[in-house]
Amino acid sequence: MAVIGGGIAGLACALRLAEAGRQVTLIEATEQLGGLGGTCDYDGRTFEKFYHCMLPTDGPLLELLADLGLRDEVYWKPTTFGYASGATIFPLNKALDLLKFAPLGFADRIRVGLTGLQGRRISSEGLDDITAVEWLTKLSGRKAFEVFWKPMLQAKFGDRYEAVPALWFWSRFNREKGDKKGEVKGYIRGGYRRIAEIIGKRITSLGGAVRLRERMVMLDLDRSDRPLVVTSRGEAVYDQVVITTPWQGIDRTLGANLRRALPPLDMNIDYQGVTNCLLFLRRPLSPHYWVATPESTYPFDGVIETSNLTEETERGARHVVYLTKYMHREDPRFREDEDLLSIEWWVALKKLFPDLRDQDLERRQVFRAPFVEPLYTTGYNARRPPEELVAGRVFLSNTAQVYPTVTSWNGSVTQAIKTLERVLVDC
């Protein structure tokens, strides 16, 4: 059988199928495994193009790492969060921090704090049918929503934020707040490339094949209703296929026979993209892992200082910072010249950190990904694609399905498990 896509969902599916004795071929369009966990090299070390971390609540991912013999390679550190308002960074990690949050009046600070408590205790029932705007406004009040919650929603979904279901926000909040350890995040020695490479080697050791730099051209059904996979290297017929690539691109590759065999599907699920500017600095910026910069003053929405999480053995003496902006691939800023963008963002960062100097910068590099997270709308559960597209033949495991779980490596592994339940039943 074939697995299309070498991100973590494809890797997890191919690994488990190979372990179950299936003859698996994993097909990946790029030169790397890992999808959004792809990496770049600098000064003899490997760095993720897009920041990643693990949480104590990421059970399925951590179980996969345990099976790979990597669980003990994950280390954990307390992390903190800051919120930039104007040129001031307010820590927001304890109840006392919220009480000192000057952008909100005292009563609104209390309501935001109570929203956090309610968010952890409330049932998710019915939250798919109302917007996060409605839900958060009801819990926190209009002023607190406009000042505190709205900029965060806009930072993630841009002008589509008003349609996002409350269930998405509830799931995100409970993932990050749902563990007794508190604000703790994890990273793995050797980085995410190590995970992808070990899974790839395990697949081949079990008799599977991993093919890189092979682009999907068409997926169809032959005259015997078996999946026909056409790639940039040729075509082949398989007994079964698992698709793990983003939903937005699948529609372009479907052949006529397969289209006729599909159940009714919403092919209009759109995606939000992201632009990251990766900085290597000679000095730290702040004690925070994440500083939210949701105000329009800044061209980026967050400053993620991963060197507050990673060990020096991973990155060297330098400090690693990601400036991130979620935006649609059709947004003109998504196509902005990389050199101009990196200069503009560096200038804005120096306004937030006035003591930052040009000589503090070792290197900067821009990375973009057009398909990061679906643009959810209310009632998304009804639009969510099924795991089985053609009975016993064509299956799906991608980010369009992880809702309401947060889009992450853990979310993708969780979805892979659900899809494999259908695949292995039909084996």
List the beta bridge partners of residue 327.
273
Strands (E), 5-131: 25-27, 39-42, 45-48, 74-78, 81-85, 88-91
Neighbours of 31 (CB within 10 A): 8
* pLDDT score recorded for residue 178: 44
Neighbours of 334 (CB within 10 A): 16
Decide: 35 and 6 in contact? Cβ < 8 Å: yes
Decide: 267 and 251 in contact? Cβ < 8 Å: yes
List the beta bridge partners of residue 2.
25, 241
Residue with tokens 């991608």: 398
Q: What letter represents residue 300's amino acid?
A: F
Distance CA 198, CA 203 (A): 9
* pLDDT score recorded for residue 179: 46
What is the token pair recorded at 247? 């939903």
pLDDT digits (tens, 9 = 90+) for 141-183: 999 999 899 888 888 888 889 999 999 988 877 765 544 445 8
Question: What is the pLDDT tens value at each position of the chain, 427 positions in all?
Answer: 999 999 999 999 999 999 999 999 999 999 999 999 999 999 999 999 999 999 999 999 999 999 999 999 999 999 999 999 988 999 999 889 999 999 999 999 999 888 877 777 788 899 999 999 999 999 999 999 998 998 888 888 888 899 999 999 888 777 655 444 458 999 999 999 999 999 999 999 999 999 999 999 999 999 999 999 999 999 999 999 999 999 888 989 999 999 999 999 998 999 999 999 999 999 999 999 999 998 888 999 999 999 999 999 889 999 999 999 999 999 999 999 999 999 999 999 999 999 999 999 999 999 999 999 999 999 999 999 999 999 999 999 999 999 998 789 999 999 999 999 999 875 5
The model's pTM = 0.93
* pLDDT score recorded for residue 182: 56
